[in-house]
Amino acid sequence: MAHEIPGPDDACMSDRTGRRSRIEARRRIAGLVARKQPARRPGAAPARTLPAKPGRAAPTPARVVEASPIVKWVGGKSRLLAQLLPRLPETYGRYYEPFAGGAAMFFRLAPEAAVLNDFNADLVATYRAIAGDTDAVIRRLELHRKHHAEKHYYEVRARWNDRSVSWSPVDRAAAFIYLNKTCYNGLWRVNRSGGFNVPMGRYVDPPICVPDALHAAGAVLARAELRSGDYRAAVADAGPGDFVYFDPPYDPVAPTANFTSYTRDAFGPDDQRALAGLARELVERGCRVMLSNSDTPFIRSLYRGFRVDRVQCARAINCNAAKRGDVDEVVVMGGY
């Protein structure tokens, strides 16, 4: 959600459950409410509006920046949000996203209280750096943008993989975003020894540094608890009324469709089983649980007793454009 300037129609305060944000998000999807202005960052100049001409209404400021993913990520949920948002629970306490990746849902909900987790420590460190000092990350990214070229890309990649280099968190975050935005197909892939090995992509003008988007994301990240580890540990303190959204690596629809190299560890059938067991446990604990996965007989068998809706999603990351077609996915819901 946009970081908003409190105004007359913001008199209704957001309660701890974040319910207002979700209702607004849904109404926005339905086109029922206009988007609001982003908040002013502390110290930032007030938004500039043109003076109204006599006889004309004051112009509406044009720039509205809502938080959205700042990295391109395999399995990103931006395209599925319209189908996920109407299926959210009406109310909830803390929001948990244990398989964050690009965290499209988290950024859209912009929850007041949240735990964001991913196994990928570099990704979470990037989120931490942005939450801590967005402007410093932007300054480094501007330099990458200025120097972007094949030579620069491979130098940054070599440095990224060189264990003898010591980085400041901000430099490392900027390098992560730079490589993510300019690498082939936006695919963050590491080899067995953890090295990032993706060649440079051929983009005309890759969006290496988008300050407004980074500020919007930084504001939302700054109020979340950022964790890096296994999904099980990430939800250990989820309690009654909390909402857990699981977006794990998907069960492959075909053997070749398996993509499990976000980190060095694959996510196989035993992991899917363990995850389903945890989802049940959380529902028994009083949590509200939502999960997305591919629509396979195996996944359906794991979530018997849950509400399971089939939805369609256009897959974004596939080097072969012909294979980017719509695929069936399921949204699993329990505890609400």
Ligand X SMILES: C[S@@+](CC[C@H](N)C(=O)[O-])C[C@H]1O[C@@H](n2cnc3c(N)ncnc32)[C@H](O)[C@@H]1O
Residues binding ligand X (CB under 6 A)? 73, 75-77, 98-99, 101-104, 118-120, 230-231, 247-249, 262-263, 267
Tell me the closest approach of the beta carbon of residue 274 to ligand X, in angstroms: 9
Tell me the closest approach of the beta carbon of residue 48 to ligand X, in angstroms: 33
- The smaller minimum CB distance to ligand X, of residues 65 and 104, is found at 104
Tell me the closest approach of the beta carbon of residue 324 to ligand X, in angstroms: 16
**How many Cβ atoms sit within 10 Å of the Cβ of residue 170?**
21
For 272, the token pair is 């899917």
Tell me the closest approach of the beta carbon of residue 246 to ligand X, in angstroms: 9
Tell me the closest approach of the beta carbon of residue 73 to ligand X, in angstroms: 4
- The smaller minimum CB distance to ligand X, of residues 111 and 249, is found at 249
Task: Find out whether 182 and 208 touch, Cβ atoms under 8 Å.
Answer: yes
**Which residue stretches of the chain are H helix?**
19-29, 81-84, 104-109, 121-132, 134-147, 150-161, 169-182, 211-222, 231-234, 269-284, 297-302
The conformational region for residue 101 under phi > 0 = left, psi -120 to 50 = alpha, else beta, is left
- The smaller minimum CB distance to ligand X, of residues 17 and 272, is found at 272
Phi, psi of 218 (to 5 degrees): -60, -40
DSSP string, 22-66: HHHHHHHHTT-SPPPPBPPPTTPPPPP-PPPPTTSPPPPP----B
- The smaller minimum CB distance to ligand X, of residues 119 and 148, is found at 119
- The smaller minimum CB distance to ligand X, of residues 97 and 242, is found at 97
Tell me the closest approach of the beta carbon of residue 250 to ligand X, in angstroms: 7
The number of angstroms, rounded, from the C-alpha of 6 to the middle of its chain's C-alpha atoms is 25
- The smaller minimum CB distance to ligand X, of residues 24 and 118, is found at 118
As a residue count, the chain comes to: 336
